[in-house]
Structure 1
Amino acid sequence: MNRGHAHAMPYGFKPLGDGRTRFRLWAPDRDAISIECDNGHSAPMRALDDGWFECVCPVDVGTGYRFRLENGLAVPDPASRRQRDGDVHGYSVVTDPLAYRWQHDGWKGRPWRETVIYELHVGALGGFHGVEMVLPHLASLGITAVELMPVAEFPGERNWGYDGVLPFAPAAAYGSPDDLKSLVDTAHGLGLMVFLDVVYNHFGPDGNYLGAYASPFFDEATHTPWGAALGVATPQVGDYFVHNALYWLDEFRFDGLRLDAVHAIGNPGWLAALAGRVRAAIGPERQIHLVLENEANQAHLLGRDRFDAQWNDDFHNALHVLLTGEQEGYYAHYRPPMEKLLRSLREGFAFQGETMGGRRRGESSGDLPPARFVNFLQNHDQVGNRAFGDRLSILVDAETMEAALALLLLGPFVPMLFMGEEWASRTPFLFFTDFPDERLRAAVREGRRREFESFAGFAGDIPDPNEYETFTASIPVRHDAAGERRRVFVRELIALRHKHVAPHIEEARSLGAGALGERAFFASWSLGGASLTLYVNLGDADIAVDRPPSPSAAWLHGDAADVASLSRGLLPARRTLACLES
């Protein structure tokens, strides 16, 4: 039976089904709050305990509403499910969460071991409908999880998503809430999971009114790159974000969440509690997955009963230095790169308590299976936070790039591709915003320039993040001949992964990894009663190998000539070869 889903929570509105709607707002700094609707109705709200205000109004679905503070300031609902015309300063809209009837309501998800992630920016692919049209292509590749960059309502028409200020409202620039549900529903019909990137470490700089009536949302004693930290230790604040997680998983049927930059939250105890509460509320009948971005490398947060995995920047950074030779910025901490890359392949994190940038970073991770780590060659940060948004396909030749992709997709970690990577896109992915406030536009423009002016390769102005052309330049373009070859190559690697590697990654353990040359190495893991070994040469010269694989090895990847060469003790340049041995 097709049905709708609505997440019940103390925040925001609740249609009562009789032409009336209940509204609640937590405003502990205020003595009086009123509500006003775009149909002319207004009323004072009743003060409850602990800073809560409530009222029941004769309004129905489609009505716009906002809250008026006693100082005259009108603010949107911080739990708004939809904003009128996408205006973060304007009216929130009463919606009917049950109106969308799910076509694939019986979908229960997929196990974590099957996960192959594809990260994308919804706006760059044409909004929710545009992404929905791309889903069959992704399913045909063997992708099993589509990860959307944040979709919470933001100022203007375009944004990376990390300037969201209304985290329950899908951005109107991308489509309606029901359009987003249709995207997820269609994905489930194709066997695809859908993950959402959520931001619980800060609000954007334009349209955030919480400080005007709920100052406990912010911990002024702790600062982050975006200002005061969020006060998640306060129950009403922590619950706001727990309900946000449940809202996306329950009402929109997302299969998982990626939590952005949780090191900036600075509260691992709250994070662990969030994971426990989410899993208890969703229950065992659905397979949902929680992933962290965490510069602190806190291994104790990772496990089946907590967070399934963490984005592994250590793997990316060390491999990037090996591939490109770049050593500026944070890449300076990964030179020489081979030692840190090998440790990442053996133990997950390269930094497990060592000093980085004058501070100790990380916890021991060697006892964790590879499944606890999401590895990638590119993502929105690692491409978009470059001055000119250049992809690896610009920096690295095609053969070396394919060797790196084979390492990524055949290793027993959870792999992630960035949109366009499967067809060798050479278009940049730039940083873009659309703040209406000219002061913010200027601050973003100048801040971006200052960020890169000390880099040796910086030779002038970078693309203005505020210009529409910066956004349009970031739409991935397929290059026909090279693109089709790369698409077939990636599809074949993913098929090999699903058949031979993915079923065993939860139990896989390192059997060792070592350097074969300046840019060549091997890595082995136990895998389902066999051992998987990858021989990787990212350099431009063939490398002698003292101990080639046994003649009985079953080769997963590598053409006959390359395998024959390795059997004679010579690993060809710009190649990754993979074999299983009993």
Structure 2
Amino acid sequence: MTTATRFGPILDADGGVTFRLWAPAATSVDLVTATSTPMRRDATGWYEARIAGARAGTHYAFRIDGDLVVPDPASAFQPHDVTGASEVVDHRAFAWSANDWKGRPWREAVILELHVGTFTAAGTFRAVIDRLDDVIAAGFTAIELMPVADFPGRWNWGYDGVLWYAPDSAYGRPEDLKALVDAAHQKGLMVFLDVVYNHFGPEGNYLGRYAPAFFTENVHTPWGAAIDYAVPEVRAFAIENAVFWLENYRFDGLRLDAVHAIGAPGEPSVLVDLSRAVGELAARTGRHIHLVLENDDNAAWLLDPAPAVPDGKYRAQWNDDYHHAWHVLLTGERQGYYVDYADDPRRHLARVLASGFAYQGEASPHRKGVNRGEPSADLPPAAFVSFLQNHDQIGNRAHGDRLDGLASDALAVEAALAVLLLAPMPPLMFMGEEWGSDRPFPFFCDFAGDLAEAVRQGRRREFAEAYRDQTTAGEVPDPLTEATVRSAVLDWPTRGQPAHRKRLDFVSTLLKLRRERVVPHIAEGGGKQGGKQGAGGAEVTLDGAVLTARWALDGGTLALIANLAAEPATAPEAAKHLAGGAPLFGPPPASPGATLAPWSVSWSWRAA
């Protein structure tokens, strides 16, 4: 890295390596390489030692108080899992090919989320490269990797990472991940990385032993004591990590997992400082760098896709409201958080299309009446990543069921895809969704001992109510077995089957239309989401099951009319506003009083 760092080894320009560890609760720390070297402590709890003979490839660890041997919390690579020795990596040594790559504007984002370990049978970074041409052919402009930070065991979703700076060795070495990013950039694909700053995984994290200030017992999260971002060193650890991935691996952006669960964000929020640090990198390099949040709080104040570089805010948020409204409409499910949309999913969908969030401060039944969200109508469509499926919405089900196996009508799913892929909001799909894969994506991990059994039993208890008609708990897949992992490996050969080929052609056609006919008219970050004014303004009406929407984009108006029901419907009076538009997808825009076929979707464009 060219920026000053606090964490991780520093390769000296004249040879040798300086090793550093923040361990304020330790009375002594020894650096363990081929020999053992006492480290010097300063008044702030930092330990340091320079080894003249160390270099890239050197393995090292830290011995705390003459007893506990731990890896570097900022390790760049762990060849022998989370409890083994760390390896020094020289990030300057990789020979990049796509050196002129500056990224792509956010308006061009069409994202395929993938899990490296199950995207291919090999489950490696290098194996993903072999499928990039298929990703591009389908119409995607970006891939988003589920977290790759080092986790315990042989397989994991990635959200149990404990060494945030080290790509997991199950997927390959650091240079393999760089090769994947480089190959994607040579083909014009952006690459995003999912990162987790709300907790550390439950196995292999030793920070509480020698740096307990990382956590505060005053705030608890689902994973225990909250990470305390009011502590300067802790804040630096996360911010440096974000810059580390973006600079050393040249990712085009980050998706921050569940930021609503960051229990002690500090003041100002660590999210603000992280965005500003990334903005400095983007300004210095001239790169397009995009930051995206997952945030159940629907905090509109954190979002602003307009600035050329991040400056305390984020391009967009994953819009769970969009997914939940569609899911209830397509499947009829009302359990859990779906109860918030069960009263009228079409109404919630209409609000999402018109003004961003469905919940903008209203009481949430699922949250026992607690108000959720903030007004979002002043934000443009670019601030909301839309999706019908993602890893959570598939994998949080007992069997990892995909939407096509749950929806009552295949036409309904195609209607949902037609809305998703041509609306001005950036769309996201989960790997295999583009061809309607029926391969499940259940939860899996590889813990050991009591922790493994606790996870196994917890998973069964979690779904006991939803699956109370089943006679054996064993019918819920065991998250610890290799069989569960293998069941999730993407079924690439099925793409050639007629039904899957038809779906892939359908999605590819829609994404081609998006690229050629919609994206050129989306202002980069400008305009309002709601109301009649502004370049991104949306006017939405709902008449029974018929939804009409109009977005004022650059150079004209993008319009939608959709019958969101399994029965024919009559085009409402609002359809008159669609007159004169050139058909973009589906049948020509209907006039008021015309009959709309079940689950029919029509898009049109009228030049200004």
The TM-score bracket by the shorter chain reads: over 0.9
Q: Which residue of 1 aligns with 2:85?
A: 91
Deviation at 1:219, TM superposition (A): 1.6
Equivalence map 1:558-577=2 (5 Å) = 558=586, 562-563=587-588, 569-577=594-602
CA shift digits 1:172-225 (9 cap, x unpaired): 000010000000000000101000000000000000000000111112111111
Q: Which residue of 1 aligns with 2:425?
A: 413
Is the 2:318–2:384 contact (alpha carbons within 8 Å) kept by the matching residues of 1? yes
Equivalence map 1:48-127=2 (5 Å) = 48-57=42-51, 58-85=53-80, 87-125=81-119, 126-127=123-124
Pair 1:483–1:8, CA change in 2 (3 A) = farther
Deviation at 1:551, TM superposition (A): 4.7
Is the 2:147–2:158 contact (alpha carbons within 8 Å) kept by the matching residues of 1? yes
Q: Which residue of 1 aligns with 2:293?
A: 292
Equivalence map 1:144-543=2 (5 Å) = 144-266=141-263, 267=265, 269-283=269-283, 285-303=286-304, 304=307, 305=311, 306-336=313-343, 337-356=345-364, 357=367, 358-396=369-407, 397-435=409-447, 437-455=448-466, 459=470, 460-461=472-473, 462-478=476-492, 479=494, 480-505=497-522, 506=525, 507=527, 508-518=535-545, 520-543=546-569
Pair 1:476–1:567, CA change in 2 (3 A) = farther
In structure 2, distance between residues paired with 1:280 and 1:123: 33
Matching residue's letter, 2:86: S
Matching residue's letter, 1:352: Q
Matching residue's letter, 1:310: Q
Deviation at 1:59, TM superposition (A): 1.8
Is the 2:439–2:488 contact (alpha carbons within 8 Å) kept by the matching residues of 1? yes
Question: Which runs of 5 or more residues in structure 2 are unaligned?
Answer: 528-534
Deviation at 1:456, TM superposition (A): 5.9
Matching residue's letter, 1:318: A
Deviation at 1:524, TM superposition (A): 1.8
Identical columns (%): 49
Deviation at 1:18, TM superposition (A): 4.8
In structure 1, distance between residues paired with 2:282 and 2:556: 36
Pair 1:488–1:542, CA change in 2 (3 A) = same
Moved more, 245-254 or 133-142: 133-142
CA shift digits 1:274-325 (9 cap, x unpaired): 1012101331611100000001111011013420000000111111111111
In structure 1, distance between residues paired with 2:2 and 2:69: 27
In structure 2, distance between residues paired with 1:204 and 1:382: 21
Question: Which runs of 5 or more residues in structure 1 are unaligned?
Answer: none
In structure 2, distance between residues paired with 1:386 and 1:195: 25
Pair 1:468–1:72, CA change in 2 (3 A) = same
Q: Which residue of 2 aligns with 1:21?
A: 17
Aligned length: 570
CA shift digits 1:4-30 (9 cap, x unpaired): x66652211112255521100001111
Moved more, 249-258 or 453-462: 453-462
Pair 1:6–1:438, CA change in 2 (3 A) = farther
Aligned to 1:50, the other structure's residue is in SS state coil
In structure 2, distance between residues paired with 1:111 and 1:220: 42
In structure 2, distance between residues paired with 1:75 and 1:136: 41
Is the 2:353–2:538 contact (alpha carbons within 8 Å) kept by the matching residues of 1? no
Is the 1:7–1:247 contact (alpha carbons within 8 Å) kept by the matching residues of 2? no
Moved more, 259-268 or 488-497: 259-268
CA shift digits 1:301-360 (9 cap, x unpaired): 101342000000011111111111100001011122122211111110111111221322
Matching residue's letter, 2:282: I
Matching residue's letter, 1:26: W
Is the 2:28–2:66 contact (alpha carbons within 8 Å) kept by the matching residues of 1? no
Matching residue's letter, 1:422: E
In structure 2, distance between residues paired with 1:187 and 1:545: 45
In structure 1, distance between residues paired with 2:103 and 2:62: 39
Q: 1:552 aligns with which of 570, 580, 599?
A: 580
In structure 2, distance between residues paired with 1:453 and 1:292: 31
Deviation at 1:394, TM superposition (A): 0.7
Aligned to 1:79, the other structure's residue is in SS state coil
In structure 2, distance between residues paired with 1:340 and 1:564: 23
In structure 1, distance between residues paired with 2:591 and 2:124: 47
Matching residue's letter, 1:529: G
In structure 2, distance between residues paired with 1:456 and 1:179: 41
In structure 2, distance between residues paired with 1:53 and 1:192: 41
Matching residue's letter, 1:75: V
In structure 1, distance between residues paired with 2:229 and 2:375: 26
Moved more, 525-534 or 499-508: 499-508
Is the 2:275–2:314 contact (alpha carbons within 8 Å) kept by the matching residues of 1? yes
1:11 aligned onto 2:7: yes
In structure 2, distance between residues paired with 1:398 and 1:8: 54
In structure 2, distance between residues paired with 1:319 and 1:401: 9
Matching residue's letter, 1:290: L
Pair 1:318–1:288, CA change in 2 (3 A) = same
Matching residue's letter, 1:497: R
Is the 2:570–2:593 contact (alpha carbons within 8 Å) kept by the matching residues of 1? no
Pair 1:420–1:6, CA change in 2 (3 A) = farther
Matching residue's letter, 2:135: L
Deviation at 1:546, TM superposition (A): 2.5
In structure 2, distance between residues paired with 1:19 and 1:41: 18
Q: Which residue of 1 aligns with 2:604?
A: 579
In structure 2, distance between residues paired with 1:90 and 1:7: 28
Matching residue's letter, 1:298: A
Is the 2:589–2:603 contact (alpha carbons within 8 Å) kept by the matching residues of 1? no
Aligned to 1:524, the other structure's residue is in SS state strand
Q: Which residue of 1 aligns with 2:532?
A: none
Matching residue's letter, 1:307: Y
Aligned to 1:563, the other structure's residue is in SS state coil
Deviation at 1:510, TM superposition (A): 3.5
Aligned to 1:12, the other structure's residue is in SS state coil
Aligned to 2:605, the other structure's residue is in SS state strand
